[in-house]
Amino acid sequence: MGLDFSILPKYMDVLLLGCLWTIGITVAAALLSFFVGIFFAVIALYAPWLIKQPFRLIEWVFMGTPLLLQLFLIYFGLVQIGIDLPAFVAGVIGLGLHFAVYNSELIQTAILAVDKGQMEAARTLGLSRGQALRKVVIPQAVRDVIPPIGNNMIALLKDSALVSVIGVSELTLSAQRMIGKTYRPFEFYLAAAALYYIINLSMEWVQRKIERRIAISR
């Protein structure tokens, strides 16, 4: 049959809408993974033993099982216990918690690398332990892990295609639907790949800007 890229402009609005859904779920899941990652890191390092254990179990589950299975459990499994989440919300929670566990490991290492004198100085100035963590230690730790967390966020973008299996009309599912109408898989998958690459380059550009700002502020 040959290739026919002239068919793409007719359906480009569908692909661009899918692109917006992909950006939306990536940004929402990235923010969730970042802040939950900080929370998990603080719990892992400073919480009492009894409080740590449930969070260690969560980390073990999310690190030891496939992301696809986690999405199935959140979207299809929770319904059986009365929690019916929209597909978009389930996708954000699944992606966010999955990457929060990995971000937590990075942030824990960064917190431990902060000079202990910083905490002691903050306590000497009258700050509580929680205030010292929030205002002194964690900001320094987060600044040091921006590059690897940025890499995790790019991986999150790529894994966001998995939410198509629970019905979120992101870029991959939008391309698949157009393929079902036109029977032109190569053209639409190639167009989707190009759009993913553009988003990826944009995220890398934002990451570099943030890293430069951090470097200047030091």
The string of pLDDT tens digits covering residues 43-94 is 999 899 888 998 889 899 999 999 999 999 999 999 999 999 999 999 999 9
Cβ count near 141 (within 10 Å)? 21
* Domains and their CATH numbers in the chain: 5-217 (1.10.3720.10)
Number of H helices, E strands in the chain: 10, 0
What was the pLDDT predicted at 218?
Answer: 63
**DSSP E strands, 79-156:** none
pLDDT at 1 over 80: no
> What is the rounded distance in angstroms from the CA atom of residue 177 to the CA atom of residue 169?
9
> What is the rounded distance in angstroms from the CA atom of residue 97 to the CA atom of residue 31?
11
> What is the rounded distance in angstroms from the CA atom of residue 86 to the CA atom of residue 174?
18
pLDDT in tens, 37-48: 999 999 999 899
| Alpha helices, H only, 6-48 | 8-46
| Mean pLDDT score, 88-106 | 96
| Mean pLDDT score, 93-113 | 95
Q: How far apart are the first and last CA of the chain?
A: 59
> What is the rounded distance in angstroms from the CA atom of residue 67 to the CA atom of residue 161?
11
CA–CA distance from 159 to each of 26, 129, 141, 194 (Å)?
Answer: 9, 37, 26, 16
Is 1 strand, coil or helix? coil
pLDDT in tens, 167-215: 898 999 999 999 999 999 999 999 999 999 999 999 999 999 988 887 7
> What is the rounded distance in angstroms from the CA atom of residue 90 to the CA atom of residue 72?
9
